[in-house]
Amino acid sequence: MLDHPRQSSGPRGQSSGAPARRFSRTPRHKVPGSSPAPRHEGGGSHYSSGRSFQNSGRRSSGGGGSRSGGGRFNKRADMSRFINTGKENSAPAAPVVITNKFEDFLIEPQLKAAILAKGFNTPTAIQDQSIPHSLLGHDVVGIADTGSGKTGAFLIPLINKALLDHSQHVLIMVPTRELAQQIQEEFRSLTKKTDLESVVCVGGMPIYRQITQLRHGPAFVIGTPGRLKDLIERGVLKLSKCQNVVLDEADRMLDMGFINDMRVVLALLPPTRQTLFFSATMSREVEKLVGEFLNNPIRVSVKTGDTSKDITQDVVRVPPGKTKLEVLHDLLVQPAFNKVLIFGRTKHGVERLADMLVDKGFKAESIHGNKTQGKRQRALDLFRKDHVQILVATDVAARGLDITGVSHVINYELPGSDEDYIHRIGRTGRAGKKGIALTFVD
């Protein structure tokens, strides 16, 4: 939980110290002048060596846990799980062998042209291994690290299928509004020169607009379980002729308590269908779901580990006489912290931390469940386009978001579980780039 900044558990947030035009988040915030936040003399990093951090971790309280599919974090957390400087395993990883190029796939010319126009010539490992099976109509279970190209792995074969047969309809079920909109953006970039249409059906946005769009008969429906169920109950969304379904980040949907809604939706699909299932983790509950709804799926796993080798992980201690907010400030004023995603635990705490960072001269925005979808999307767009360098978030942003160039992920408060930690830090170190993940220790 977030307390007053003078208390040791100070506010949550993140920010970058790169000088740039300051962005005022709302009229009620009085933002200081346009110069960047001043550097502390002798400020520097509060990183400690891995060993000393482990010792301090055993003496410190780590924070509470929350419901999740993974193991819980205890109040006296083992800090060793947050430390991986890259020196622990110096053996080179086995090279990933890609056997195809996009031009080799048997897909429609306009789709192939759209992929090449985006600058993609070679598929990622998950795309390389799963797309050939999906193009043949098989059910597929794909497990891969975050940032590995799972969205393209299911969109490309299903767009191709719809181009070949306009009677095909696709349902894509995801855990969050942000992921749904991200998938739609990717869909639109791949279908610019086609007549295929999509609609996003999520909460926090006007349902009547979605109803109107559904009546136009889009080929692709992308939505969250709760809103999809609502539209089904209103008689607007009919799935009896939907021959294709994607479950993306199904483990997160289970963690968020969507299992009953998922079952309601999936039970209305025809038994003869193609089901594609993609995730970064595979719990027993998810395995049960696979057995329940997929038919002899092809299993593809290109997961190299719980966390990417490109992410350096370490902890940040709060020394006596300092608050968390002061330590955070000392980090954020450093030039290397140029695009920072900070995670907190509560909606009010995240909002308050973002406000305090703005008051300190940082360009920061927040994203959490109390914001309307329009405001959440605006905050994400500002962060993506580098108009703000800090995004303070609850775990709503931990899964699925593909934000280019995040230099640091900061766990201002401990995540609720191992899986939450993995998906939080997976927002950096993506697509072969290096990233740093830091976890605060009181």
Confidence of residue 17 (pLDDT cuts 50, 70, 90): very low
pLDDT at 41 over 50: no
Tens-place pLDDT, residues 237-271: 999 999 999 999 887 787 778 888 898 999 999 99
Tokens encoding 259: 């299992």
- How much is the pLDDT for 236? 95
- How much is the pLDDT for 81? 62
Average pLDDT over residues 330-337: 95
- How much is the pLDDT for 4? 31
Average pLDDT over residues 311-329: 91
- How much is the pLDDT for 285? 80
- How much is the pLDDT for 305? 57
Q: What residue spans in the chain does CATH classification 3.40.50.300 cover?
A: 50-89+307-441, 102-301
- How much is the pLDDT for 80? 59
Confidence of residue 3 (pLDDT cuts 50, 70, 90): very low
203's CB contacts (< 8 A; 6+ apart) are 177, 224, 226, 227, 373
Tens-place pLDDT, residues 88-112: 444 445 566 889 999 999 999 999 9
Tokens encoding 307: 């966390």
- How much is the pLDDT for 441? 80
Confidence of residue 420 (pLDDT cuts 50, 70, 90): confident
CATH entry, 50-89+307-441, from 3.90.640.10, 3.40.30.10, 3.40.50.300, 2.160.20.10: 3.40.50.300
pLDDT at 135 over 60: yes
Question: How do the residues of the chain divide into helix, strand and coil, expressed in percent and rounded to 5?
Answer: 35, 15, 50
Confidence of residue 400 (pLDDT cuts 50, 70, 90): low
**DSSP notation for 65-92:** ----SSPBPPSS--GGGG-B-S-S--SP
- How much is the pLDDT for 48? 42
pLDDT at 424 over 80: yes
Residues in the chain, total: 442
Tens-place pLDDT, residues 201-215: 998 889 999 999 999
Residue 93 burial (CB < 10 Å; 0-12/13-18/19+)? exposed
- How much is the pLDDT for 107? 96
- How much is the pLDDT for 399? 60
- How much is the pLDDT for 225? 93
pLDDT at 42 over 70: no
- How much is the pLDDT for 79? 54
SS3 for 201-221 is ECCCCCHHHHHHHHHCCCCEE
Average pLDDT over residues 42-52: 36
- How much is the pLDDT for 19? 35
CATH of domain 102-301: 3.40.50.300
Residue position matching structure tokens 């410190």 = 60
- How much is the pLDDT for 57? 32
pLDDT at 375 over 80: yes
pLDDT at 62 over 70: no
Q: Bigger pLDDT: 20 or 418?
A: 418
343: closest CA among 14, 19, 65? 14
- How much is the pLDDT for 189? 96
pLDDT above 70: percentage of residues in the chain: 75
pLDDT above 90: percentage of residues in the chain: 48
- How much is the pLDDT for 35? 33
- How much is the pLDDT for 60? 31
Confidence of residue 422 (pLDDT cuts 50, 70, 90): confident
The span from the CA of 259 to the CA of 265, in Å, is 10
